[in-house]
Structure formats: C-alpha cells, structure tokens
C-alpha cells in the first residue's frame, strides 16, 4: 500500500480522471469492451506511481504503454474471448455481412502489437516514429507491424 | 494518400473505440463490467502483488462490490463458456457446514502464468510467480540492483523481491507477505540463490528444509456461489482442476498460518485484506486446489467452515465440486486442451519472443522449462543487424531471417534492410521454431 499511499491526496484520482478515457479506449481496442476497465485500471495502478515520478516526462505515454503491457500479460488465457468480443463489437446496423464487418473481424485477429500500432496510428494519429517511441520499439519494428497488419486486412477485404 | 483500406481500418478502429465502456469512477474499486463475478480479477491482481512489483498498492483493487445471485446468473448466461457449452447453472445442496442453496456454477479462465509456493524452514510461505516481459512495468522507484547478470528489484513493503533474466523475457517474483517479513529477507535470498534463470528456463531447487506446495499455471476456475438470499454475498467455493494448491496460494501470498487439517489435507487460512469481500480457506483436494471464501466480517460463518473442515468435511466439499457438470473429468480436460494444455499437470505458456514455457514440479524441483523451445537465441546488442548476426553465427542471412519468420522482401516492405540495426535486447532465433524437443522436464524427485 505504501507506494500508492505515497502519492499526494487525490493525486491518484486526478490522474485517473485525466487519462481514464484514453486508457479504456485503448484497452477496448486491445481486449474488447468487457475486459477494458479491468485492464485499464490494473495497468493504471501498476504504472501510476511511476507516472508521477519527476523523471517521467510523459506520464500519459507511460500509462498507455502499461495498458499494452497488461494486455500482453494476460494474453494467453483470454485471447480467444477477446477476439470474440472484438469481432462482435459494432453498431447494430452493421449486423449484415459486409466488408466493414470483415475488416473489424480481421482486426480482432491481429496480434496485440499490431492492434496497438493500428490504434496509435489510425486513432491517435501518431506518426510511426511517435508510435515507436511510445511503445518502446524501433521505428522499423513499428513499420513492420503496420505493413503486416495492413497486408492482413487487405487480404480480408479482397 | 488515404486509401480505401485506410478508410476501412479507421472505420473498424472507430467501431471498436465506440464500444469502449465508461471508465470507472475511481481506479481503486474494480467493478467488473458486465461480469459481476468478483473473484477472478483479484486472483490476477494478486499475482502481480505477490511478485513484489507494487505489492500492497494493488490491494486497493480488491473488489468491494456486492453482487447478487441474479447478477451472477446473468453473467453466467452471457459471459461464460460454461453457458455456451450447456454446462451452466446448476443447483447444488450446500454441504454440511451451513445451509442454503448453491445458485450458480460458473467457469472463468484466469491468467495462465506459472506460479507456485514453498514453505521455509521457519514456516513462512514464499510464493513464486514467473512472468514474461514484465520488467518494463516495474515502478521506477523500486529499489533495483544488478547482481551478476541478473537485475533485481525489491518491493519495499512486502519483503518480496523480483528479478529478471538476461533478455528480460523471464521474470520471477519471490514473495512473502507475512507481517513479520522484511525486505531483502535472508529466506527470500536463499530462494534466489537456489534459482537458475535463463532465457528459456527457470527453476528453483527446493532448498534443504523447505517444502514445495506445488506449482503450475492457473487453469480453469470453477466457481460456485452458495447464496440463499438475493442481495447478500454468500459463501463461494472455487476449484481449479489439476492446479496444485501452491499455485492457488501464490495468488494470495499467504502468511505462515495453517488453519486446520482434515482428511489428510492441509487447509490454509487466507485472510482477505481490507476491502476484500472474502476470507478464504484453501486446501489440496486430490491434486486440485480448492478454496472456500466467506464474506469478510462474517466470523460465525467462517468458523463454521473451519469447523466443517476440522470435522473431516473437506471430502464433502470436494464432492459438491465433483457434482458440477463439467467441473471435473473429460469435459474439464477438453476445455483445458483448447486453451493450450499439453498433458495433465503440465501447461504451456506461449510467449511472443521468448518461446513457450512449461512449469512443472517434483518433490525437489520447482522448474520452468521450455516446452516449445525456440532453440538457441541470440540477444541483440546495440548496433547489431541481421547481416552481422548471421555472419557471427555462421548462418546465411536468408536462413536467419527464415528462423525468425521473415524474408528479405518483407524487410524491404518495412523499409528495412539486412543492415538495419535491430532493437537491442530482443531475442533473435538461431533455429527453427519448435525444432528442439524439450527433454529437461524432471521426472524423478
């Protein structure tokens, strides 16, 4: 309890309020909606103390990375259910088969790392270099994930 | 230039994001969205806590939410594979310890990482959790040292320590959370000294005078709620078929307390922390971990369960579990097989860059070995490239790329060449995946 308790009063809650939306959004893309809050809160509590450290210049990036790490951590047992959750997501109006649904399903079959990269590039509008820095990967690795993810999705569309 | 594919991807990501639930009001109470069965997340969280990473910090996540039988029924019907498999709800008689009805049997599948527990000569229970790619998640203000070739981090609250292998693929957390424990305890370091950790294996030779309580990966948990009323948390019974009790204990980081023995089984008392809705009793039921949780603060009911175990009713509790369709036997095995089990008692834990691992246990060895071993690997040093590694290892570049699932054409698509520096610290395979069969699983004590 000491580490969390060492934070100033209310700091944890303030930080959560500031970043919760982004963390839960990312977690939803990675693991689906039903586990998103679990993953986001677990990751947040793991990284919250570190994120407050004066040496940490970009706490949000650290927290987002913690979400990716937490999803990786729990991948094995939950992957199948996550994919089910992800593939099932979408407006009711898209329940009929169409390519849009196919892409969504294909996204759910990507690796967590590929999904992470897609999220940051396509939703957060980060560059490959920024995504690489955030995820602690080389730009080449991010590029490779992106190429493979797009290739996979292209095939799903064709 | 934005292409149709980009539009489709953006749209798909947008759909996924749109499904994001509202964040919890506070991160300190982990309600479980759409799945009110409160037990499973604590197991997962406690795993990290017992690895000394942020220790008690995670304790604030203990679920305080009250759930109802109705909630549980709904959750079982919508979320659990049990319902999908037609093995969902069942009504069971409550065993002799108390009265009431079991209202639900549900199945959840928590994290599959390897874990176990050992008892020190002084009676302290030490937990061992093996995780992968976890080092980067450590809080930066933990005390950290490098001892020889391993990095060590120490929890400053729980007397626990954690350390990692060369390429940080494997990390072991050694924990003891008994109130009297101290950071850097001699016992914890004795275990550290008894540990062999490499990129593809981890083992602890159980030191003289210590006792192993077993190790393995958490498998399927069967959860029964005995709750006659609709708005009060009742007694909950869990069973983890094929999971040794040491693995279960490792999720709680118990102290030394041994509550009672009955029917030849040792029952462990696991007092829930503040905010945890339950106190627990756990024991080994014929090789499967079993645990009863009683609502926190209901001392009379808790003592009732203790008395039941002392009176030799552990077998009756186990029979209740046996009567759950799918909770034991072939059905359970089938489900485990789907999630990656190889043989009973030995579970694989696939990883991305570090190969698959299997934790196994004998009377004298707590061991994690590579099952689908990636073969020899090379840990990339700063500045190294595919070409330089291939030259150093006496391989052709194409062969090295093939071992790692790549071609030069794919590299080119990624804007890389064989001379592009690789990420330092990552593992590069020097043989085909699965080309080495594990032969190091100990078979004799």
Contact status of A127 with chain B (Cβ, < 8 Å): no
Q: How confident is the model at residue B156, as a pLDDT? A: 45
Interchain contact, A73 vs B54, CB within 8 Å: no
CB B215 within 8 A of CB B116: yes
Asked if residues A47 and B139 have their Cβ atoms less than 8 Å apart, the reply is: yes
Contact yes or no for A72/A43 (Cβ under 8 A): no
C-beta atoms of B24 and A123 within 8 A? no
b/e per residue, B336-360, with b = 16+ CB within 10 A?
beebbbeeeebbbbbbebbbbbbbb
pLDDT of A23: 92
Instruction: Say if residues B31 and B63 touch (Cβ distance below 8 Å).
Output: yes
pLDDT (0 to 100) of residue B181: 53
Residue A43 has pLDDT above 60, yes or no: yes
Domain boundaries, chain B: 39-112+218-338, 381-424
Chain B touched by A18 (CB under 8 Å):
no
Which is nearest to A117 in space by CA: A44, A30, A43? A30
Q: Which two tokens stand for residue A125?
A: 């509008």
Q: How many CB atoms sit inside 10 A of residue B138's CB?
A: 22
d(CA A49, nearest CA chain B) in Å? 6
Residues of chain B with Cβ-Cβ distance to A65 below 8 Å are: 136
CB contact at 8 A, B152 and B144: yes
Q: Which of B15, B24, B59 sits opposite A37 (nearest CB)?
A: B24
Higher-confidence residue: A150 or B252? A150
Lowest-pLDDT range, A27-31, A90-94, A114-118, A140-144? Answer: A90-94
8 Å CB contact between B366 and B211: no
A·B CB contacts under 8 A: 229
Q: What is the pLDDT of residue A125?
A: 85
Q: What is the mean pLDDT of each run of 10 residues along chain B (445 residues)?
A: 78 82 64 26 29 22 20 24 25 26 32 66 77 56 60 59 61 66 67 69 75 68 46 56 73 55 63 61 73 71 67 56 39 30 32 42 40 53 88 84 74 79 72 37 28
- Cross-chain CB nearest to A138 (options B16, B44, B423): B423
Could you list the beta-strand ranges (E) of B156-246: 161-164, 170-175, 195-197, 202-205, 211-217, 221-226, 235-240
Cβ separation of B140 and A12 shorter than 8 Å?
no
User: Under a CB-based contact definition with an 8 Å cutoff, are residues B236 and B104 in contact?
Assistant: no
pLDDT value, residue B387? 92
Q: Which of A33, A42, A107 sits opposite B20 (nearest CB)?
A: A33
Sequence ranges of the domains in chain A: 1-89, 97-158
Residue A66 is predicted with a pLDDT of 83
DSSP state of B415: T
Long-range contacts made by residues B343-349, C-beta under 8 angstroms, separation at least 24? Answer: B344/B242, B345/B216, B345/B242, B345/B287, B346/B216, B346/B371, B346/B441, B347/B112, B347/B114, B347/B216, B347/B217, B347/B219, B348/B372, B349/A76, B349/B112, B349/B113, B349/B114, B349/B132, B349/B217
| Domain A97-158: assigned CATH number | 1.10.10.10
Test B21 with A20 for CB contact under 8 angstroms.
no
Residues 88-107 of chain A with CB under 8 A from chain B are: 89-91, 94, 99-100, 103-104, 106-107
Instruction: Enumerate the residues of chain A whose CB falls inside 8 A of the CB of residue B340.
Output: 76
Largest CA distance in chain A: 55
């Amino acid at each position: 309890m000491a580490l969390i308790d060492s934070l100033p009063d209310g700091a944890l809650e303030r930080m959560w309020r500031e970043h919760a939306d982004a963390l839960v959004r990312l977690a939803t893309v990675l693991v689906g909606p039903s586990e998103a809050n679990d993953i986001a809160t677990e990751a947040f509590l793991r990284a919250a103390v570190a994120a407050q450290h004066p040496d940490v210049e970009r706490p949000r990036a650290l927290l987002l990375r913690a979400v990716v790490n937490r999803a990786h951590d729990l991948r094995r047992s939950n992957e199948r259910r996550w994919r089910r959750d992800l593939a099932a997501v979408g407006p009711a109006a898209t329940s009929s088969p169409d390519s849009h649904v196919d892409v969504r399903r294909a996204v759910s079959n990507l690796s967590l790392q590929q999904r992470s990269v897609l999220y940051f590039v396509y939703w957060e509008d980060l560059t490959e270099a920024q995504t690489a820095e955030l995820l602690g990967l080389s730009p080449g690795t991010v590029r490779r994930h992106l190429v493979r993810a797009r290739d996979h999705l292209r095939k799903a569309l064709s | 230039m934005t292409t149709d594919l980009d539009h489709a991807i953006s749209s798909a990501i947008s759909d996924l994001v749109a499904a994001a639930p509202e964040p919890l009001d506070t991160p300190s109470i982990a309600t479980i969205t759409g799945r009110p069965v409160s037990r499973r997340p604590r197991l997962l969280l406690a795993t990290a806590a017992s690895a000394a990473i942020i220790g008690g910090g995670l304790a604030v996540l203990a679920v305080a939410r009250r759930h109802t039988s109705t909630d549980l029924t709904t959750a079982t019907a919508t979320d659990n594979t049990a319902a999908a498999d037609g093995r969902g709800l069942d009504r069971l008689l409550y065993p002799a310890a108390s009265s009431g009805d079991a209202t639900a049997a549900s199945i959840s599948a928590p994290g599959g990482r390897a874990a176990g527990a050992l008892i020190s000569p002084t009676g302290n229970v030490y937990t061992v959790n093996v995780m992968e790619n976890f080092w980067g998640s450590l809080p930066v203000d933990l005390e950290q040292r490098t001892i020889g070739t391993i990095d060590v981090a120490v929890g400053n609250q729980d007397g626990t320590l954690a350390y990692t292998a060369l390429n940080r693929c494997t990390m072991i957390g050694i924990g003891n959370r008994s109130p009297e424990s101290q950071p850097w305890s001699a016992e914890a370091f004795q275990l550290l000294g008894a540990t062999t950790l490499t990129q593809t294996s981890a083992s602890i030779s159980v030191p003289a005078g210590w006792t192993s309580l077993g190790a393995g990966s958490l498998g399927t948990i069967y959860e029964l709620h005995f709750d006659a009323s609709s708005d009060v948390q009742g007694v909950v019974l869990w069973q983890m078929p094929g999971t040794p009790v040491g693995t279960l204990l490792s999720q709680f980081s118990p102290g030394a307390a041994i509550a009672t023995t009955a029917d030849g089984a040792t029952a462990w008392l696991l007092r829930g922390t503040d905010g945890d809705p339950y106190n627990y009793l756990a024991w080994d039921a014929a090789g499967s971990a079993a645990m009863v949780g009683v609502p926190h603060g209901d001392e009379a009911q808790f003592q009732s369960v203790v008395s039941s175990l002392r009176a030799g009713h552990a077998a009756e509790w186990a029979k209740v579990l046996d009567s759950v369709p799918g909770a034991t036997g072939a059905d359970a095995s089938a489900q485990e097989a789907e999630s990656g089990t190889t043989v009973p008692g030995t579970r694989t834990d696939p990883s991305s860059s570090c190969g698959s691992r299997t934790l196994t246990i004998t009377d004298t060895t707590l061991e994690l070995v590579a099952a689908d071993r990636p073969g020899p690997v090379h840990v990339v040093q700063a500045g190294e490239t595919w070409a330089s590694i291939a030259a150093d290892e006496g391989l052709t570049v194409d062969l090295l790329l093939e071992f790692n699932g790549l071609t030069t054409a794919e590299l080119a698509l990624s804007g890389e060449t064989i001379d592009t520096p690789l990420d330092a610290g990552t593992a590069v395979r020097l043989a085909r995946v699965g080309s080495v069969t594990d032969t190091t699983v100990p078979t004799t004590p």
